[in-house]
Structure 1
């Protein structure tokens, strides 16, 4: 009887696996294939490279390609210069407030990069607060927010936490015996870091640096807010929205974005795999934190405080913009007001509700699919089950701009049932796009949670007559609840900050989420106050979600001694 039940359940899980594969094929692989095919299609069913030759014959395209590479590379360099000292100081030396410093260091990720760009203009722009002070005191200004330099500056401060987080995690796992061996051989200070510590922590650095490169290379919102269009992502957006959805050059740009994203991820994996970073000992003690001398402490705190002031300046700028009426050609804003918030709750409350609806439904889909895929991959022997994990991983390397354009092309002629209209003109397109793009985050949380649930609990339940479905419902899912909630929150907050797909998929303002509203408000000086107020609401929502995610993750360890509730 048990064998029949297991056989029937295995067939049911196989059907679920096939259904998930079809969903991913339709809403992830199909749009990507459509974009790639269009880039290589001659319009008559044949394949051609003429569109790529045409791309490189256009001087603006060559300039945009070079600019995107330059901005991404310089941002990685700038993020490295900030993150490595910050990680090393807080992880290897006795530091008061090290946890607070690490927490403040990752705060930029709470704010979308394009939101911070508007605030940085008012603080570091040509007529910003910093340059006004410099002109008054010293008679010169710093053009830090001009052109490509402004994008590099903004995105360096926004994305360096990726390197900080990954590098700090690698530094924490280095066995103290490795450093002691280096010190016994005469290495100390900079030489010890360069020859021993950093090489052992290199996998974490490479992982963070590749993420920074991908995020910057594919970013659309920041260049548009700073009015810089001679980069690949803005050019793809402008070509598709101005020339039309059939313009092949826009698809060529999308293919280039995809290739470089995959190359960055694959290259980081190859670089790490070509050398052995594993430690022979397991569970070794972490290296003891060393003391700084008095002058070293002063210099370290001075540098960290300076960096944190830069890091937190966009948040302060957005808050000031939302609370003051006038901020132009002055060091500080003038005329305190709550009018901007009243405007938002009057004119943009539908956008707030749309964000909660779209991101909430997308997060539910992600958790359901993530839990199902995790169970199929870890707990079954269904042939080809690993393909589901690989398909989901594809979404990590796909720029939002590419998926957005792919959705417009693939589903432009798809009509919803019951006369609901075209899919691309419906709010459902947001839910589908957000869920597909954020599914990897939920899947990782679900897999981590399921690996902590011992199979013996399921075997015990089934041995007393519980079916597999009842075991999943009564045993597995309750013990995975912390991971499920963490996956939901992560998917929700990352979708709420999405801008590339949102700009492309918004067909009318009544369906727009908050990120699109913020972008619209920041297009004019008169709208920056309400845009800042809406940004504060969005940042608060994301910050609250991030806090809840960390709290959930901290308490998500399942208790393996729970009795089987059958």
Structure 2
């Protein structure tokens, strides 16, 4: 076969150039424009915007706050997610499949929906708060600020650690555990001496995702941060409030966000490379039955964690059927919130389906092409495309939205306010998920199969779509379902880009919560949860083993 590590202007060369052009137009150009606005004012080059940010504690303190809550959210997510995945891999836990589905559902909902639910439960007039007051005569700790945000992020994001570690443990050979047991290394000691070093690269990848998700989320701190201001909130409020007067300052804040996430990603990448190695699981870990006090404790831990994680969704569903009078709940149940919801939704549900569907079709097509270029046709240009594809993975959605809206708001590329720009934003942001899963599965497919097809007279494209793509299907489906569920729950980018005609369900939910229409918001959130569950059921039908891991 020809040397595929040299760029050639064949069909794959043309595809490489086309994808590179797409990234240059819709990612490199907007981000470059953002950086230009941050460093240039009316009188040319300036650092005034950055000096303003770091010289005023009102702004600079948000960095410390964001790092603090993101760091502890990562720590607590690891403390909960790692043991859960370890117990699921080693032991026969009753109702394991149901628990796994509930964990996935809890991870796929929008974080701000969980924040809204916890306010209803533990807020100053929350159900649990009032119950504890009446029963014990004491007031629980305030849910607002750092404590509440940490609770929301932990219950929302530990599931990502669980999915990452579950995927890593599925590749651990059982003979390693048996050998350590024969040498007297068991229990907690075996976990820290044998298992933990094996899954360290995966832990670092999962921790990075949790940290960046917590760092870039603005829906949760907007709802429950109160005096505890975070970086994404100040970024959003400054852009929305000053877009017509001072784009430069908002752009400078966005550039700071890019630098921070890039540094964090680079540190994680270096640490992962130092600890990376490959594993082949010839004998997967065998699940053992649980007995005695140990079995009770492990079952209690798993069930309590899952119950706390799924509680927000359950309570939101429950409140969607409660009667409301104005902005407060009253005794009794009805479907009034759903009736009122449909009268206010407009095109929100339709947009929540149509926009992600269009984006997902493009994501799947681009992902399989880019995965193939990355693995089979790796050269300078395809490597550049691969690097560019990962940039949105580490950039907050609010930054992507600001970059797009400031770059395409005037002719001849006036896309701002259209469905097209919403689709582009989702494609750019969610491509990395499907690309990574497609690359992982393509590495397991021998290139000799493609060579055999080509030697028998098949064209390159026919070989790719008829032979390679079907063999990649499991990786494509896994990445696609993750991309889809994150698309329908997207808020940060949508809040910047949406108009009345392109409003999505997440934006509609957030708007109703801010307005105090909790019954309508609960009904909308329940619809979003149902869409998520349907998506997971479809995945279960299409997937070979019905399990989502990362």
The question of a shared fold, defined as TM-score above 0.5 by the shorter chain, is answered with yes
| Residue 371 of structure 2 is aligned to residue 374 of structure 1 | yes
Match of 2:219 among 198, 218, 221: 221
Contact kept in structure 2, 1:411 and 1:423, CA below 8 Å:
yes
Distance 2:60 2:169 in 1: 40
* 1:544/1:333 CA distance change after superposition, 3 Å: farther
Distance 1:447 1:28 in 2: 22
Q: What's the counterpart of residue 528 of structure 1?
A: 518
Contact kept in structure 2, 1:217 and 1:257, CA below 8 Å:
no
| Residue 406 of structure 2 is aligned to residue 409 of structure 1 | yes
Counterparts of residues 48-63 of structure 1 (less than 5 Å): 48-63=46-61
Deviation by residue 1:19-71 (Cα, 9 ceiling, x = unmatched): 1101111111222222233333344442x444323211111112211110111
Distance 1:304 1:482 in 2: 28
Q: Number of aligned pairs?
A: 541
Distance 2:405 2:236 in 1: 12
Deviation by residue 1:348-382 (Cα, 9 ceiling, x = unmatched): 14111112221111112212222322333334466
Distance 1:83 1:327 in 2: 40
Match of 1:545 among 535, 539, 543: 535
Tell me how far 1:497 sits from its aligned partner: 0.9
Deviation by residue 1:127-168 (Cα, 9 ceiling, x = unmatched): 111111111111112125122211111111001111111222
Q: What's the counterpart of residue 193 of structure 1?
A: 191
Contact kept in structure 1, 2:201 and 2:276, CA below 8 Å:
no
SS state at 1:510 partner: coil
Q: What's the counterpart of residue 397 of structure 1?
A: 394
Match of 1:100 among 79, 90, 98: 98
Structure 2, gaps ≥5 residues long: none
Contact kept in structure 1, 2:320 and 2:337, CA below 8 Å:
yes
Quick one: higher RCO (CA 8 Å, sep 6+), 1 or 2? 2
SS state at 1:424 partner: coil
Contact kept in structure 2, 1:363 and 1:435, CA below 8 Å:
yes
* 1:180/1:165 CA distance change after superposition, 3 Å: same
Distance 2:410 2:415 in 1: 8
Q: What's the counterpart of residue 425 of structure 2?
A: 433
Distance 1:53 1:396 in 2: 28
Q: What's the counterpart of residue 79 of structure 1?
A: 77
Q: What's the counterpart of residue 257 of structure 1?
A: 257
* 1:98/1:473 CA distance change after superposition, 3 Å: closer
Deviation by residue 1:426-451 (Cα, 9 ceiling, x = unmatched): 22110111111111123234445655
Q: What's the counterpart of residue 339 of structure 2?
A: 342
Q: What TM-score, normalized to structure 1?
A: 0.87
Q: What's the counterpart of residue 13 of structure 1?
A: 12
SS state at 2:36 partner: helix
Distance 1:347 1:328 in 2: 15
SS state at 2:207 partner: helix
Tell me how far 1:184 sits from its aligned partner: 4.8
Counterparts of residues 60-459 of structure 1 (less than 5 Å): 60-226=58-224, 228=226, 230-244=229-243, 246-275=246-275, 282-283=280-281, 285-290=283-288, 292-326=290-324, 334-380=331-377, 383-415=380-412, 422-448=414-440, 450-451=442-443, 455-459=447-451
Contact kept in structure 1, 2:509 and 2:525, CA below 8 Å:
yes
Distance 1:309 1:480 in 2: 35
* 1:381/1:311 CA distance change after superposition, 3 Å: closer
Structure 1, gaps ≥5 residues long: 417-421, 557-566
SS state at 2:320 partner: helix
Distance 2:281 2:441 in 1: 22
Distance 1:539 1:183 in 2: 43
Q: What's the counterpart of residue 504 of structure 2?
A: 513
Contact kept in structure 1, 2:454 and 2:463, CA below 8 Å:
yes
Deviation by residue 1:268-293 (Cα, 9 ceiling, x = unmatched): 222232246556xx545345445544
Contact kept in structure 1, 2:174 and 2:284, CA below 8 Å:
yes
Deviation by residue 1:490-533 (Cα, 9 ceiling, x = unmatched): 43322111101100112x323211111111111122x2211111
Distance 1:445 1:277 in 2: 18
SS state at 2:366 partner: helix
Larger radius of gyration: 1
